[in-house]
C-alpha cells in the first residue's frame, strides 16, 4: 500500500525559507542553502545525500504542493516541470491542468483529505504520495492524520527567521525514527507518524 509522505528541508532552527520569499527568490534570503544537499547553490552532495534524493522520488506516484510553492517555482522548474509525475496544486482558484513535459499540474480547491485521496488514487496502490510543500500545506496535511511518514533533511544553518515548518503543528503527534543518515550538507531523518 502506498504511503503519504512529507519531504522537506528545514534549517536546524526549523525554517524552510528565509524572509522575502518571491518568484525571484523562492527561498527568500536563505537562497538555495537549504538545498545544497541536492547539488543546488554549488552544493556537493555526498553519498547519503544522493541516497536521500533518490528515495524522494523512487516510489512516488503523485505529488501535492501548495499554490504559493507552485507560483514561485514554476518558472524555475524548466520545460519538464521538474516532478515527472502528476502534481496536485492546492489553491483557492482552480483552473485547467497545465502540462510541462512529463509533469501535469492539476489545480484543485478540494479539502486536503480529498486531495490526498485523489492523489493516492492517481499514484496507484503501490506508489507513494509526496507532499513537497510549503509549510502551511504540510501542517494542514499533518492535521488530517493521513500522513504516514515524515522525511526531514535538516540543514546545518541557523536562519533565525522566515517560514517555520512546524509553527502550529498538530499537538501530540508522535514519531518513530525509521532511518537516519548524515553528511556535511544535511542530516536525513525518516520518521513514521503514529
Enumerate domains of the chain plus CATH numbers.
4-193 (3.40.430.10)
- How far is Cα 181 from Cα 134, in angstroms, rounded to an integer? 24
pLDDT tens for 22-62 read: 888 888 898 889 999 999 889 999 999 999 999 988 999 99
End-to-end CA distance of the chain: 16
pLDDT at 171: 82
Residue indicated by cell numbers 509553527: 167
Residue 157, CA atoms < 13 Å, CB-side half-sphere: 23
Q: Cβ atoms within 10 A of the Cβ of 121, count?
A: 13
- How far is Cα 119 from Cα 112, in angstroms, rounded to an integer? 10
- How far is Cα 88 from Cα 66, in angstroms, rounded to an integer? 8
- In order of 34, 50, 64, 186, the CA distances from 47 in angstroms are 17, 5, 27, 11
pLDDT tens for 72-128 read: 888 888 888 889 999 999 999 999 999 999 999 999 999 999 999 999 999 999 999
- How far is Cα 131 from Cα 56, in angstroms, rounded to an integer? 10
Q: Cβ atoms within 10 A of the Cβ of 8, count?
A: 18
In this prediction, what percent of the chain has a pLDDT beyond 90? 79
In this prediction, what percent of the chain has a pLDDT beyond 70? 100
Grid coordinates of 120: 493516492
Return mean pLDDT, the chain: 93
Q: Who wins on pLDDT, 15 or 1?
A: 15
DSSP type of residue 11: B
Q: Residue 176: is its pLDDT beyond 80?
A: yes
Amino acid at each position: 500500500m502506498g504511503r503519504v509522505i512529507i519531504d522537506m528541508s528545514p534549517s536546524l532552527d526549523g525554517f524552510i525559507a528565509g524572509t522575502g520569499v518571491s518568484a525571484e527568490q523562492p527561498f527568500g534570503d536563505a537562497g538555495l542553502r537549504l538545498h545544497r544537499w541536492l547539488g543546488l547553490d554549488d552544493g556537493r552532495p555526498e553519498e547519503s545525500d544522493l541516497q536521500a534524493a533518490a528515495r524522494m522520488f523512487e516510489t512516488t506516484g503523485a505529488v501535492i504542493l501548495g499554490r504559493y510553492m507552485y507560483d514561485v517555482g514554476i518558472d524555475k522548474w524548466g520545460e519538464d516541470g521538474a516532478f515527472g509525475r502528476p502534481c496536485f496544486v492546492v489553491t483557492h482558484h482552480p483552473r485547467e491542468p497545465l502540462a510541462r513535459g512529463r509533469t501535469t499540474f492539476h489545480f484543485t480547491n478540494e479539502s486536503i483529505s480529498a486531495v490526498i485521496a485523489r492523489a493516492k488514487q492517481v499514484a496507484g496502490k503501490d506508489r507513494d504520495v509526496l507532499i513537497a510543500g510549503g509549510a502551511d500545506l504540510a501542517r494542514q496535511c499533518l492535521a488530517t492524520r493521513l500522513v504516514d511518514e515524515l522525511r526531514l533533511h535538516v540543514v546545518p544553518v541557523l536562519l533565525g527567521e522566515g517560514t517555520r515548518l512546524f509553527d502550529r503543528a498538530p499537538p501530540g503527534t508522535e514519531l518513530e525514527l525509521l532511518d537516519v543518515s548524515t553528511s556535511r550538507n544535511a542530516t536525513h531523518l525518516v520518521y513514521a507518524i503514529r
